Structure 1
Amino acid sequence: METTTATKATASLSSVTLEVADVEAARHFYSAFGVDTYVRLRAFEEAHGAGFRGFTLALTVSGPATVDGFVAAAVEAGATVLKPAVKSLWGYGGVVQAPDGTIWKIATSAKKDTGPATREIDEVVLLLGVQDVKATKQFYAGRGLTVGKSFGGKYAEFVPGGSDPVKLALYKRRALAKDLGVADDGPGAHRIVLGSTGGAFTDPDGFAWEPTASTDADRS
Protein backbone atom coordinates (compact mmCIF):
# COMPACT_ATOMS: atom_id res chain seq x y z
CA MET A 1 0.00 0.00 0.00
CA GLU A 2 1.21 3.47 -0.84
CA THR A 3 0.30 6.32 1.47
CA THR A 4 0.79 9.93 0.52
CA THR A 5 1.32 12.46 3.29
CA ALA A 6 -1.82 14.58 3.44
CA THR A 7 -1.48 18.24 2.52
CA LYS A 8 -4.16 20.85 2.06
CA ALA A 9 -5.97 20.19 -1.19
CA THR A 10 -6.69 23.04 -3.58
CA ALA A 11 -9.74 21.19 -4.90
CA SER A 12 -12.14 18.71 -3.37
CA LEU A 13 -15.53 17.04 -3.78
CA SER A 14 -18.01 19.49 -2.30
CA SER A 15 -21.32 17.99 -3.49
CA VAL A 16 -22.92 15.10 -5.38
CA THR A 17 -25.84 15.81 -7.72
CA LEU A 18 -27.89 12.92 -9.13
CA GLU A 19 -29.79 13.40 -12.38
CA VAL A 20 -33.23 11.84 -12.00
CA ALA A 21 -36.40 11.59 -14.07
CA ASP A 22 -38.72 12.61 -11.22
CA VAL A 23 -37.19 14.99 -8.67
CA GLU A 24 -40.12 14.86 -6.23
CA ALA A 25 -40.22 11.06 -6.21
CA ALA A 26 -36.45 10.91 -5.75
CA ARG A 27 -36.60 13.45 -2.93
CA HIS A 28 -39.19 11.31 -1.16
CA PHE A 29 -37.07 8.18 -1.59
CA TYR A 30 -33.82 9.69 -0.33
CA SER A 31 -35.55 11.25 2.66
CA ALA A 32 -37.08 7.88 3.61
CA PHE A 33 -33.76 6.12 2.99
CA GLY A 34 -32.04 8.62 5.28
CA VAL A 35 -29.36 9.98 2.93
CA ASP A 36 -31.03 13.15 1.62
CA THR A 37 -28.42 15.42 3.22
CA TYR A 38 -25.66 13.79 1.17
CA VAL A 39 -27.05 14.22 -2.35
CA ARG A 40 -28.62 16.90 -4.50
CA LEU A 41 -31.14 16.22 -7.25
CA ARG A 42 -31.53 17.56 -10.77
CA ALA A 43 -34.00 16.66 -13.49
CA PHE A 44 -32.42 15.39 -16.69
CA GLU A 45 -33.84 16.59 -19.98
CA GLU A 46 -32.62 14.01 -22.47
CA ALA A 47 -32.76 10.24 -22.79
CA HIS A 48 -29.93 8.21 -21.31
CA GLY A 49 -28.96 4.70 -22.33
CA ALA A 50 -29.43 1.79 -19.97
CA GLY A 51 -26.54 -0.02 -18.35
CA PHE A 52 -24.03 0.33 -15.53
CA ARG A 53 -23.48 3.98 -14.67
CA GLY A 54 -19.96 3.38 -13.47
CA PHE A 55 -20.26 4.42 -9.83
CA THR A 56 -21.78 3.62 -6.47
CA LEU A 57 -22.41 5.52 -3.27
CA ALA A 58 -21.35 3.51 -0.24
CA LEU A 59 -22.50 3.97 3.35
CA THR A 60 -20.31 2.78 6.22
CA VAL A 61 -22.27 2.19 9.42
CA SER A 62 -21.65 0.78 12.91
CA GLY A 63 -23.02 -2.76 12.76
CA PRO A 64 -25.10 -5.41 10.97
CA ALA A 65 -28.40 -4.30 12.54
CA THR A 66 -27.86 -0.79 11.23
CA VAL A 67 -27.06 -2.18 7.77
CA ASP A 68 -30.32 -4.14 7.86
CA GLY A 69 -32.21 -1.03 8.95
CA PHE A 70 -30.94 1.05 6.02
CA VAL A 71 -31.60 -1.78 3.54
CA ALA A 72 -35.14 -2.22 4.89
CA ALA A 73 -35.81 1.55 4.70
CA ALA A 74 -34.58 1.64 1.11
CA VAL A 75 -36.70 -1.33 0.06
CA GLU A 76 -39.80 0.05 1.78
CA ALA A 77 -39.29 3.31 -0.12
CA GLY A 78 -39.07 1.49 -3.46
CA ALA A 79 -35.49 0.26 -3.88
CA THR A 80 -34.52 -3.07 -5.43
CA VAL A 81 -32.11 -5.41 -3.66
CA LEU A 82 -29.17 -6.27 -5.92
CA LYS A 83 -27.25 -8.21 -3.26
CA PRO A 84 -28.87 -9.19 0.05
CA ALA A 85 -26.96 -8.18 3.18
CA VAL A 86 -24.70 -11.06 4.25
CA LYS A 87 -21.55 -11.72 6.26
CA SER A 88 -18.23 -11.89 4.45
CA LEU A 89 -14.54 -11.98 5.28
CA TRP A 90 -14.45 -8.19 5.63
CA GLY A 91 -17.70 -7.66 7.53
CA TYR A 92 -21.38 -7.42 6.62
CA GLY A 93 -23.17 -5.58 3.85
CA GLY A 94 -25.65 -5.45 1.01
CA VAL A 95 -26.43 -3.53 -2.19
CA VAL A 96 -29.64 -1.80 -3.27
CA GLN A 97 -30.68 0.19 -6.33
CA ALA A 98 -32.81 3.29 -5.91
CA PRO A 99 -35.85 3.82 -8.15
CA ASP A 100 -33.86 6.43 -10.12
CA GLY A 101 -31.21 3.78 -10.88
CA THR A 102 -28.46 4.89 -8.50
CA ILE A 103 -26.73 1.97 -6.76
CA TRP A 104 -26.04 2.18 -3.03
CA LYS A 105 -23.89 -0.14 -0.94
CA ILE A 106 -24.44 -0.32 2.82
CA ALA A 107 -21.73 -2.03 4.86
CA THR A 108 -19.95 -2.39 8.18
CA SER A 109 -16.62 -3.95 9.12
CA ALA A 110 -18.28 -5.40 12.25
CA LYS A 111 -19.62 -8.93 12.05
CA LYS A 112 -21.56 -8.68 15.31
CA ASP A 113 -23.64 -5.91 16.83
CA THR A 114 -22.18 -4.26 19.91
CA GLY A 115 -25.21 -2.03 20.41
CA PRO A 116 -28.70 -1.31 19.08
CA ALA A 117 -29.39 -0.36 15.49
CA THR A 118 -29.16 3.35 14.72
CA ARG A 119 -29.81 5.62 11.76
CA GLU A 120 -26.32 7.08 11.97
CA ILE A 121 -23.91 7.02 9.03
CA ASP A 122 -20.19 6.94 9.80
CA GLU A 123 -19.01 7.71 6.27
CA VAL A 124 -20.29 8.13 2.72
CA VAL A 125 -17.93 7.26 -0.13
CA LEU A 126 -18.46 7.93 -3.83
CA LEU A 127 -16.69 5.11 -5.67
CA LEU A 128 -16.01 5.88 -9.32
CA GLY A 129 -15.43 2.87 -11.55
CA VAL A 130 -12.53 3.79 -13.84
CA GLN A 131 -10.54 2.04 -16.55
CA ASP A 132 -7.09 3.01 -15.25
CA VAL A 133 -6.88 3.74 -11.52
CA LYS A 134 -3.26 4.95 -11.62
CA ALA A 135 -3.84 7.35 -14.50
CA THR A 136 -7.06 8.74 -13.06
CA LYS A 137 -5.44 9.11 -9.63
CA GLN A 138 -2.70 11.20 -11.22
CA PHE A 139 -5.31 13.24 -13.10
CA TYR A 140 -7.07 14.14 -9.86
CA ALA A 141 -3.83 14.76 -8.02
CA GLY A 142 -2.97 17.21 -10.78
CA ARG A 143 -6.28 18.95 -10.13
CA GLY A 144 -5.29 19.50 -6.51
CA LEU A 145 -6.95 16.56 -4.74
CA THR A 146 -4.79 14.94 -2.07
CA VAL A 147 -4.29 11.18 -2.32
CA GLY A 148 -4.92 9.40 0.97
CA LYS A 149 -4.57 5.66 0.39
CA SER A 150 -3.54 3.91 -2.80
CA PHE A 151 -3.40 0.19 -3.55
CA GLY A 152 -1.48 0.06 -6.83
CA GLY A 153 -3.75 0.01 -9.85
CA LYS A 154 -6.75 -1.39 -7.97
CA TYR A 155 -7.97 1.33 -5.62
CA ALA A 156 -7.26 4.90 -4.51
CA GLU A 157 -9.01 7.36 -2.23
CA PHE A 158 -8.64 11.07 -1.65
CA VAL A 159 -8.55 13.10 1.53
CA PRO A 160 -11.86 14.96 1.91
CA GLY A 161 -11.95 18.63 2.80
CA GLY A 162 -12.94 19.58 6.32
CA SER A 163 -16.62 20.14 5.45
CA ASP A 164 -16.97 17.77 2.49
CA PRO A 165 -19.85 15.34 3.17
CA VAL A 166 -18.67 12.61 0.78
CA LYS A 167 -15.25 11.00 0.29
CA LEU A 168 -14.07 10.33 -3.27
CA ALA A 169 -12.44 7.00 -4.22
CA LEU A 170 -11.47 5.17 -7.41
CA TYR A 171 -11.95 1.48 -8.20
CA LYS A 172 -11.49 -0.60 -11.33
CA ARG A 173 -14.76 -0.36 -13.27
CA ARG A 174 -15.09 -4.09 -13.94
CA ALA A 175 -14.27 -4.99 -10.34
CA LEU A 176 -16.79 -2.44 -9.06
CA ALA A 177 -19.56 -3.84 -11.26
CA LYS A 178 -18.78 -7.36 -10.02
CA ASP A 179 -18.82 -6.22 -6.39
CA LEU A 180 -22.24 -4.61 -6.90
CA GLY A 181 -23.70 -7.63 -8.67
CA VAL A 182 -24.35 -5.92 -12.01
CA ALA A 183 -23.05 -6.41 -15.55
CA ASP A 184 -20.30 -4.09 -16.75
CA ASP A 185 -21.96 -3.33 -20.06
CA GLY A 186 -24.38 -1.03 -21.78
CA PRO A 187 -23.99 2.62 -22.79
CA GLY A 188 -25.43 3.91 -19.52
CA ALA A 189 -24.71 7.59 -18.92
CA HIS A 190 -23.25 8.45 -15.52
CA ARG A 191 -26.18 10.72 -14.56
CA ILE A 192 -24.13 12.23 -11.77
CA VAL A 193 -22.49 15.66 -11.50
CA LEU A 194 -19.78 16.36 -8.94
CA GLY A 195 -19.39 19.71 -7.23
CA SER A 196 -15.84 21.06 -7.36
CA THR A 197 -14.07 23.69 -5.28
CA GLY A 198 -11.55 23.99 -8.11
CA GLY A 199 -13.51 24.77 -11.27
CA ALA A 200 -15.24 22.78 -14.04
CA PHE A 201 -13.65 19.78 -15.74
CA THR A 202 -14.35 16.23 -16.96
CA ASP A 203 -12.20 13.30 -15.89
CA PRO A 204 -10.79 10.58 -18.22
CA ASP A 205 -13.86 8.37 -17.66
CA GLY A 206 -16.38 11.10 -18.46
CA PHE A 207 -17.40 12.09 -14.93
CA ALA A 208 -18.31 15.78 -15.02
CA TRP A 209 -17.39 18.31 -12.34
CA GLU A 210 -18.96 21.75 -11.94
CA PRO A 211 -17.96 24.69 -9.73
CA THR A 212 -19.67 24.50 -6.35
CA ALA A 213 -21.56 27.73 -6.98
CA SER A 214 -23.25 26.12 -10.00
CA THR A 215 -24.64 23.26 -7.91
CA ASP A 216 -25.92 25.29 -4.97
CA ALA A 217 -29.33 25.77 -6.61
CA ASP A 218 -29.70 22.01 -7.13
CA ARG A 219 -29.87 21.02 -3.45
CA SER A 220 -32.58 18.46 -2.90
Structure 2
Amino acid sequence: MATTASDTSLASVTLEVADPEAARRFYTAFGVDAYIRLRASEAPTAGFRGFTLALTVSQPATVDGFVGAALDAGATVLKPAVKSLWGYGGVVQAPDGTIWKVATSAKKDTGPATREIDAIVLLLGVEDVKAAKQFYVGRGLTVARSFGGKYAEFASDESGSAKLALYKRGGLAKDLGVPAEGAGSHRVVLGGTAGPFADLDGFVWEATGALAPAP
Protein backbone atom coordinates (compact mmCIF):
# COMPACT_ATOMS: atom_id res chain seq x y z
CA MET A 1 0.00 0.00 0.00
CA ALA A 2 1.33 3.44 -0.89
CA THR A 3 2.43 5.71 1.94
CA THR A 4 0.42 8.94 2.17
CA ALA A 5 1.29 12.29 3.73
CA SER A 6 -1.05 11.64 6.65
CA ASP A 7 0.77 8.37 7.34
CA THR A 8 4.01 10.21 7.97
CA SER A 9 2.96 13.61 9.27
CA LEU A 10 4.38 14.52 12.65
CA ALA A 11 2.05 12.99 15.24
CA SER A 12 4.06 13.61 18.43
CA VAL A 13 7.24 15.15 19.82
CA THR A 14 9.00 13.38 22.69
CA LEU A 15 11.70 15.25 24.61
CA GLU A 16 14.30 13.07 26.29
CA VAL A 17 15.13 14.57 29.68
CA ALA A 18 17.15 13.63 32.74
CA ASP A 19 14.27 14.30 35.16
CA PRO A 20 10.81 13.76 33.65
CA GLU A 21 8.92 14.92 36.74
CA ALA A 22 10.83 18.20 36.94
CA ALA A 23 10.40 18.67 33.20
CA ARG A 24 6.67 17.99 33.49
CA ARG A 25 6.33 20.67 36.16
CA PHE A 26 8.21 23.14 33.98
CA TYR A 27 6.20 22.47 30.83
CA THR A 28 2.91 22.64 32.72
CA ALA A 29 3.87 26.04 34.10
CA PHE A 30 5.10 27.13 30.65
CA GLY A 31 1.78 26.08 29.14
CA VAL A 32 2.92 23.59 26.48
CA ASP A 33 2.55 20.26 28.31
CA ALA A 34 -0.37 19.20 26.09
CA TYR A 35 1.83 19.35 22.99
CA ILE A 36 4.82 17.24 24.00
CA ARG A 37 5.73 13.91 25.56
CA LEU A 38 8.57 13.31 28.00
CA ARG A 39 10.90 10.36 28.41
CA ALA A 40 13.79 9.72 30.79
CA SER A 41 17.22 9.69 29.14
CA GLU A 42 20.82 10.01 30.21
CA ALA A 43 22.13 9.93 26.63
CA PRO A 44 25.24 12.12 26.32
CA THR A 45 24.60 15.47 24.65
CA ALA A 46 26.66 18.65 24.36
CA GLY A 47 26.15 22.04 22.74
CA PHE A 48 23.41 22.77 20.24
CA ARG A 49 21.04 19.82 19.88
CA GLY A 50 20.07 20.86 16.38
CA PHE A 51 16.41 21.76 16.89
CA THR A 52 14.01 24.20 18.46
CA LEU A 53 10.30 24.28 19.20
CA ALA A 54 8.72 27.55 18.09
CA LEU A 55 5.43 28.90 19.43
CA THR A 56 3.43 31.29 17.27
CA VAL A 57 1.02 33.46 19.25
CA SER A 58 -1.27 36.38 18.49
CA GLN A 59 0.42 39.46 19.96
CA PRO A 60 3.43 40.80 21.91
CA ALA A 61 1.67 40.66 25.29
CA THR A 62 1.08 36.95 24.81
CA VAL A 63 4.73 36.44 23.89
CA ASP A 64 5.70 38.21 27.11
CA GLY A 65 3.29 36.03 29.08
CA PHE A 66 4.79 32.79 27.80
CA VAL A 67 8.38 34.01 28.18
CA GLY A 68 7.63 35.24 31.70
CA ALA A 69 6.04 31.93 32.68
CA ALA A 70 9.07 30.05 31.34
CA LEU A 71 11.50 32.25 33.28
CA ASP A 72 9.47 31.96 36.47
CA ALA A 73 9.61 28.16 36.10
CA GLY A 74 13.39 28.11 35.70
CA ALA A 75 14.19 28.80 32.04
CA THR A 76 17.06 31.05 30.97
CA VAL A 77 16.97 33.78 28.32
CA LEU A 78 18.94 33.19 25.12
CA LYS A 79 17.41 36.18 23.35
CA PRO A 80 15.15 38.67 25.15
CA ALA A 81 11.80 39.39 23.51
CA VAL A 82 12.17 42.40 21.22
CA LYS A 83 10.55 44.00 18.20
CA SER A 84 12.02 43.27 14.77
CA LEU A 85 11.17 43.76 11.13
CA TRP A 86 9.04 40.61 11.13
CA GLY A 87 7.25 41.11 14.48
CA TYR A 88 8.11 40.42 18.11
CA GLY A 89 9.71 37.45 19.82
CA GLY A 90 12.29 35.94 22.12
CA VAL A 91 14.15 32.70 22.82
CA VAL A 92 14.44 30.76 26.09
CA GLN A 93 16.11 27.53 27.13
CA ALA A 94 14.24 25.12 29.40
CA PRO A 95 16.02 23.60 32.40
CA ASP A 96 16.27 20.29 30.48
CA GLY A 97 18.19 22.08 27.71
CA THR A 98 15.45 22.30 25.07
CA ILE A 99 15.36 25.64 23.24
CA TRP A 100 12.00 27.34 22.71
CA LYS A 101 11.21 30.36 20.55
CA VAL A 102 8.05 32.40 21.19
CA ALA A 103 7.02 34.88 18.51
CA THR A 104 4.23 36.81 16.84
CA SER A 105 4.03 38.63 13.51
CA ALA A 106 2.03 41.39 15.23
CA LYS A 107 3.91 44.44 16.46
CA LYS A 108 1.12 45.88 18.62
CA ASP A 109 -1.30 44.42 21.13
CA THR A 110 -4.97 44.31 20.21
CA GLY A 111 -6.25 43.11 23.58
CA PRO A 112 -5.29 41.45 26.85
CA ALA A 113 -2.66 38.72 26.83
CA THR A 114 -3.95 35.17 26.48
CA ARG A 115 -2.43 31.73 26.96
CA GLU A 116 -3.48 30.59 23.50
CA ILE A 117 -0.99 29.05 21.06
CA ASP A 118 -1.75 29.50 17.37
CA ALA A 119 0.84 26.98 16.17
CA ILE A 120 3.88 25.01 17.30
CA VAL A 121 6.63 24.25 14.80
CA LEU A 122 9.42 21.73 15.38
CA LEU A 123 12.35 23.22 13.48
CA LEU A 124 15.11 20.74 12.65
CA GLY A 125 18.52 22.20 11.92
CA VAL A 126 19.90 20.22 8.96
CA GLU A 127 23.12 20.33 6.97
CA ASP A 128 21.40 20.27 3.55
CA VAL A 129 17.80 21.50 3.43
CA LYS A 130 17.20 20.33 -0.15
CA ALA A 131 18.49 16.81 0.54
CA ALA A 132 16.56 16.56 3.81
CA LYS A 133 13.39 17.81 2.11
CA GLN A 134 13.71 15.16 -0.60
CA PHE A 135 14.29 12.50 2.06
CA TYR A 136 11.03 13.39 3.78
CA VAL A 137 9.11 13.68 0.51
CA GLY A 138 10.31 10.15 -0.18
CA ARG A 139 8.82 9.15 3.17
CA GLY A 140 5.43 10.51 2.11
CA LEU A 141 5.38 14.01 3.57
CA THR A 142 3.95 16.88 1.53
CA VAL A 143 5.86 20.17 1.29
CA ALA A 144 3.63 23.09 2.29
CA ARG A 145 6.21 25.87 1.91
CA SER A 146 9.77 25.93 0.64
CA PHE A 147 12.41 28.61 0.18
CA GLY A 148 15.20 27.03 -1.82
CA GLY A 149 17.97 25.59 0.31
CA LYS A 150 17.09 27.70 3.36
CA TYR A 151 13.75 26.49 4.71
CA ALA A 152 11.05 23.90 4.11
CA GLU A 153 7.80 23.28 5.97
CA PHE A 154 5.62 20.21 5.65
CA ALA A 155 1.86 19.91 5.64
CA SER A 156 0.36 18.70 8.91
CA ASP A 157 -2.85 16.92 9.80
CA GLU A 158 -5.46 18.11 12.28
CA SER A 159 -4.12 16.17 15.27
CA GLY A 160 -3.06 19.30 17.16
CA SER A 161 0.58 18.28 17.14
CA ALA A 162 3.52 20.39 16.01
CA LYS A 163 4.25 21.19 12.40
CA LEU A 164 7.58 19.96 11.02
CA ALA A 165 10.03 22.30 9.30
CA LEU A 166 13.66 22.24 8.16
CA TYR A 167 16.18 25.05 8.53
CA LYS A 168 19.87 25.24 7.76
CA ARG A 169 21.60 24.24 11.00
CA GLY A 170 23.96 27.21 11.11
CA GLY A 171 21.17 29.65 10.35
CA LEU A 172 18.94 28.14 13.01
CA ALA A 173 21.67 28.35 15.65
CA LYS A 174 22.31 31.99 14.75
CA ASP A 175 18.59 32.79 14.96
CA LEU A 176 18.47 31.21 18.43
CA GLY A 177 21.60 32.97 19.66
CA VAL A 178 23.72 29.85 20.27
CA PRO A 179 26.88 28.36 18.68
CA ALA A 180 26.09 25.80 15.97
CA GLU A 181 28.48 23.18 17.37
CA GLY A 182 26.99 20.20 19.16
CA ALA A 183 27.54 16.50 19.70
CA GLY A 184 25.76 13.44 21.04
CA SER A 185 22.03 12.86 21.28
CA HIS A 186 19.52 15.32 19.83
CA ARG A 187 17.36 14.44 22.88
CA VAL A 188 14.19 14.53 20.77
CA VAL A 189 12.19 11.72 19.16
CA LEU A 190 9.61 12.35 16.44
CA GLY A 191 6.51 10.20 16.26
CA GLY A 192 4.59 9.07 13.18
CA THR A 193 2.71 6.00 12.09
CA ALA A 194 5.31 5.23 9.39
CA GLY A 195 8.29 4.88 11.80
CA PRO A 196 10.78 3.79 12.86
CA PHE A 197 13.62 5.39 10.90
CA ALA A 198 16.37 8.00 11.24
CA ASP A 199 16.73 10.92 8.82
CA LEU A 200 19.89 12.22 7.13
CA ASP A 201 20.84 14.31 10.18
CA GLY A 202 20.27 11.60 12.77
CA PHE A 203 16.83 12.70 13.98
CA VAL A 204 14.99 9.57 15.07
CA TRP A 205 11.37 8.72 14.28
CA GLU A 206 9.36 6.02 15.99
CA ALA A 207 5.94 4.55 15.28
CA THR A 208 3.36 6.21 17.49
CA GLY A 209 -0.22 7.39 17.59
CA ALA A 210 -1.30 10.99 17.48
CA LEU A 211 -1.02 13.18 20.56
CA ALA A 212 -4.49 14.44 21.41
CA PRO A 213 -4.82 18.23 21.25
CA ALA A 214 -5.49 20.25 24.35
CA PRO A 215 -9.18 20.76 25.14
User: Is 1:203–2:192 an aligned residue pair?
Assistant: no
8 Å CA contact retained: 2:144, 2:155? yes
Tell me the equivalent position of 2:40: 43
Which deviations, in whole Å up to 9, do the C-alpha atoms of 1:163-183 show, x marking residues without a partner? 141100000000000000000
8 Å CA contact retained: 2:24, 2:38? yes
Distance 1:121 1:49 in 2: 29
Tell me the equivalent position of 1:179: 175
* 1:8, distance to aligned residue in structure 2 (A): 4.8
Tell me the equivalent position of 1:137: 133
Distance 1:138 1:185 in 2: 25
SS of match in other structure, 2:130: helix
Structure 2: runs of 5 or more not aligned: none
Distance 2:55 2:102 in 1: 5
**Superposed CA RMSD:** 1.4
Structure 2 residue corresponding to 1:147, chosen from 143, 150, 161:
143
User: Is 1:162–2:163 an aligned residue pair?
Assistant: no
Structure 1 residue corresponding to 2:21, chosen from 10, 21, 24:
24
Which deviations, in whole Å up to 9, do the C-alpha atoms of 1:13-38 show, x marking residues without a partner? 10000000001000000000000001
TM-score (norm 1): 0.91
SS of match in other structure, 1:37: helix
Moved more, 26-35 or 156-165: 156-165
**Aligned-partner residue type, residue 74 of structure 2:** G
Structure 1: runs of 5 or more not aligned: 1-6
* 1:39, distance to aligned residue in structure 2 (A): 0.6
Alignment of 1:44-193 (within 5 A): 44-46=41-43, 48-193=44-189
Tell me the equivalent position of 1:4: none
Distance 1:188 1:182 in 2: 17
The change in CA–CA distance for 1:138 and 1:20 in structure 2 (over 3 A counts) is same
* 1:11, distance to aligned residue in structure 2 (A): 1.3
TM-score (norm 2): 0.94
Distance 1:188 1:120 in 2: 34
- Count, aligned residues: 208
- Runs of 4+ off more than 6 Å: none
